[in-house]
Amino acid sequence: MSKAIQAVRGMNDLLPDTVERWQRIEAIARDVLHAYGYREIRLPIVEKSELFARSIGSLTDIVEKEMYSFEDRSGDNLTLRPEGTAGCVRAGIENGFLHNQIQRLWYAGPMFRHERPQKGRYRQFHQMGVEAFGIDTPDIDAELIFLCARLWRALGLEGLGLQLNSLGTPESRAVYRRELMRYLETQRGNLDEDSLRRMDKNPLRILDSKNPAMQEVIAKAPSLFDHLDDAARAHFEKLGEYLGQAGIAFTVNPRLVRGLDYYTRTVFEWTTDRLGAQSTVCAGGRYDGLVEQLGGKPAPAAGFALGMERLAELLAHQDLGAQPARPQIYLVLLGASAEQQGLVLAERLRDAGLRIECNCGGGGLKAQLKRADRSGAHHALLLGEEEVRNNSVTVKNLRDSETQTQVAQNALIDFLKKMTERGEQP
């Protein structure tokens, strides 16, 4: 036997049980998004590499070392998208739906980053992302956070903490950057290798270091928050008021800097202590300069994205309600004439709105009942030689082996519907 090929490291198969859980999460999320007027947009997975260098920033970890980039057969430099915001802005400019307009959009799908895989961190992962364009005021920042909070409630998710910061304007950040650099110069001897590397290119990211040995240096660093310009400070305070009014608790974390360069003013992260090191479930903020930076007419914007793998892991033990993908009925077919009639009977029952898994590929009664049990169906319909002869079907309750009833085929749909009305499965 030749060696079996395995999946690419960090890229996981999502098996049906997981997919069904994800679909329930997505359905709940969709309802919440629609309750706020957000509309879905579907974007390409591959974009020109330049898009990400110009938006996420050429000195970020993502662009420097995590992108899946390649030259295609026409010699174009392309990249598997590492996130959704850049593509969404690109699409907005290209399709002309950003200029002087308010747009509330969401998207979902796979993203790709060549990170070191570990629990909660993968090379292909999935996000649901939300972007609001054209609104400059903190009411939309608040609305985005309300939307998250409503989603956590709808999912029955507790224990997520909200961290907030303001990064100010690019101008105020430049002033801060210089001051931070001066401080870090005095600390050179205490910086780890990663921080030394970031020192010249992206010193703000040093504040984000998780290395315990760096925490003292970070704690004593000047605070970005103290360097905010007045407008950014007022914006942040207003957001705090909105959140307070809505009873949403938050912590101001002046060290929260995010790993993408496009943010301005508000940034936030929802974190949990239940997922180990990969604790951020959802993150985002404002990116008022990005539309212009990518060649569009200036338009303010804010948004966030949640990580599906992390969210699903948190919800692994939660009952998210119905499992509509499971069949209600398994149709057992015994003998050639039953097989002959079976597929058509299954079609008739589906026409009546029932979910049927029909036995295909033959097999004896025992084997078929085993499959029926595994299908998750509540009832089996048995069609054998005798039933074919007298135009009937035997209805068998799979969860209570005692109950079995013969029903005439022309009365079957009525029978099954009445069963549903009585609150019994199916």
Residues that bind ligand HAM (CB under 6 A): 83-85, 113, 115, 120-122, 125, 127, 129, 131, 259-260, 280-285, 287, 303-307, 309-310
If the CB atoms of residues 148 and 283 are measured against ligand HAM, the closer one turns out to be: 283
Can you tell me whether residue 210 is helix, strand or coil? coil
> What sign results for the dihedral spanned by CA atoms 290, 294, 300, 304?
negative
If the CB atoms of residues 116 and 422 are measured against ligand HAM, the closer one turns out to be: 116
Smallest gap from Cβ 236 to ligand HAM, in A, equals 17
CA 314 to chain centre: 12
b/e sequence 226-243, b meaning 16+ C-beta within 10 Å: ebbbeebbebbeebbebb
Smallest gap from Cβ 269 to ligand HAM, in A, equals 7
If the CB atoms of residues 46 and 413 are measured against ligand HAM, the closer one turns out to be: 46
Can you tell me whether residue 283 is helix, strand or coil? strand
Smallest gap from Cβ 407 to ligand HAM, in A, equals 50
In this chain, which residue has its C-beta nearest to ligand HAM? 307
Among candidate residues 340, 411, 342, the one with its CA nearest the CA of residue 382: 342
If the CB atoms of residues 306 and 377 are measured against ligand HAM, the closer one turns out to be: 306
If the CB atoms of residues 30 and 121 are measured against ligand HAM, the closer one turns out to be: 121
Smallest gap from Cβ 413 to ligand HAM, in A, equals 46
Smallest gap from Cβ 25 to ligand HAM, in A, equals 13
**For residue 222, cis peptide bond before it (omega within 30 degrees of 0):** no
Structure tokens at 317: 């033990």
CA–CA separation, 40 and 35 (whole Å): 13
If the CB atoms of residues 127 and 368 are measured against ligand HAM, the closer one turns out to be: 127
Phi, psi of 168 (to 5 degrees): 70, -160
CA–CA separation, 136 and 195 (whole Å): 34
Smallest gap from Cβ 254 to ligand HAM, in A, equals 18
